[in-house]
């Protein structure tokens, strides 16, 4: 225990590394200086002090923060590790949140606001309540905030989130049969674009490459670097190659199996291992066969673009300032 405390004190003193925290279950990520007198490490849950509230967070890692992260953090300090009593408060707050959810739903209907309430969370000390919602555009919720504040006698925050955040909060089962990554372990979303699906040579069918949120599968990013690096070892489609069976044109690639489909002059198509292929003439354009295959898929590039997501593009309010 003393070694851990000394390590925390050293990190805090030299100012190099801070703890990276994830607030609550559906909150954001912030940084905070490590405490010098508390034994705490990655994966622990702790009680943190904010400007006007007390809340809880999970330690994700310890790293060097950027100046922007230091500037935008709302966490003042780590007070202690979560205790059994603190967790009891969290469970009690969940019951309160259920009631607040129903009340807010009615208020939204009364004010005729075009918004969808997703979730409600209380801070640990119940001094503020966060209402998460989605909407197609900006929503004037000032009157809603007033009515909720008079109802609950607490600081009210309405946070507009994106569809990926919504899936992370609500949860579900992905096409792989496992719990959604966004609700299981992803604490922030990296950019995902259609290029990642193309590099992995997936069928560009929106229903097959998008998740419950209606955006591209998060897992496309996991394999992207491997596919991008591995594809450089392969000849381009349409390239003239030499094999043990003769010369032919590359019409398709299988990066995982490290093989190619080669079409010979006789029209025969054979799968050949990459190590057994020698490139005679590299082509920069796809072969007629592969191009016909792409055209046959009747791809709508505009529809595919709608599946992309760039974090930071979601509308947001001025909470936590």
> What are 218-229's pLDDT values in tens digits?
889 888 999 989
The pLDDT assigned to 293 comes to 46
pLDDT given at position 60 = 92
Average pLDDT score, the chain: 84
Note the pLDDT tens digit of each residue in 137-182. 889 999 999 999 999 989 999 999 988 889 988 889 988 899 998 8
How far lies 294's CA from each of 106, 200, 205, 299, in Å?
49, 15, 11, 7
Class of the CATH-defined domain 87-161: alpha beta
- Given a cut of 70, whether residue 48 has pLDDT beyond it is yes
CATH number of 233-296: 2.30.30.30
Answer whether 156's CB lies under 8 Å from 100's CB: no
Task: Check pLDDT > 60 for residue 4.
Answer: no
Q: What is the pLDDT of residue 124?
A: 93
- State the pTM of this model: 0.74
Note the pLDDT of residue 313. Answer: 38
Length of the chain measured in residues: 321
Residue at token pair 């929503």: 139
Contacts 24+ apart (CB under 8 A), 88-96: 89/124, 90/56, 90/124, 93/121, 93/122, 93/124, 93/126, 96/122, 96/126
Average pLDDT over residues 192-217: 88
CA distance 100 to 119: 10
Q: Which sequence spans correspond to the domains of the chain?
A: 2-81, 87-161, 167-229, 233-296
């Amino acid at each position: 225990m003393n070694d851990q405390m000394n390590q925390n004190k050293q990190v805090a003193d030299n100012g190099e590394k801070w703890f990276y925290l994830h607030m609550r279950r559906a909150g954001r990520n912030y940084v905070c200086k490590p405490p010098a007198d508390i034994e705490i490490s990655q994966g622990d849950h702790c009680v943190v002090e904010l400007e006007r509230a007390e809340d809880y967070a999970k330690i994700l890692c310890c790293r060097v923060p950027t100046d922007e992260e230091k500037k935008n953090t709302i966490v003042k300090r780590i007070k202690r590790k979560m205790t059994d009593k603190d967790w009891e408060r969290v469970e009690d707050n969940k019951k309160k949140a259920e009631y607040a959810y129903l009340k807010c739903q009615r208020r939204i209907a009364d004010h005729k606001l075009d918004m969808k309430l997703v979730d409600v969370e209380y801070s640990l000390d119940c001094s503020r309540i966060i209402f998460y919602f989605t909407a197609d555009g900006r929503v004037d919720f000032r009157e809603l905030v007033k009515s909720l504040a008079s109802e609950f006698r607490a600081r009210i925050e309405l946070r507009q989130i994106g569809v990926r955040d919504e899936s992370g909060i609500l949860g579900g089962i992905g096409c792989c049969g496992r719990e959604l990554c966004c609700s299981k372990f992803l604490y922030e979303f990296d950019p995902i674009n259609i290029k990642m699906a193309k590099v992995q040579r997936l069928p560009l069918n929106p229903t097959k490459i998008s998740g419950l949120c209606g955006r591209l599968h998060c897992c496309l990013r996991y394999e992207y670097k491997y596919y991008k690096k591995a594809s450089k070892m392969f000849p381009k489609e349409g390239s003239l190659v030499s094999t043990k069976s003769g010369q032919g044109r590359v019409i398709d690639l299988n990066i995982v199996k490290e093989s190619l489909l080669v079409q010979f002059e006789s029209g025969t198509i054979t799968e050949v291992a990459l190590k057994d292929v020698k490139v005679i003439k590299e082509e920069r354009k796809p072969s007629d066969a592969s191009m016909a295959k792409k055209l046959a898929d009747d791809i709508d590039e505009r529809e595919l673009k709608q599946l992309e997501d760039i974090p930071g593009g979601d509308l947001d309010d001025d909470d936590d300032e």
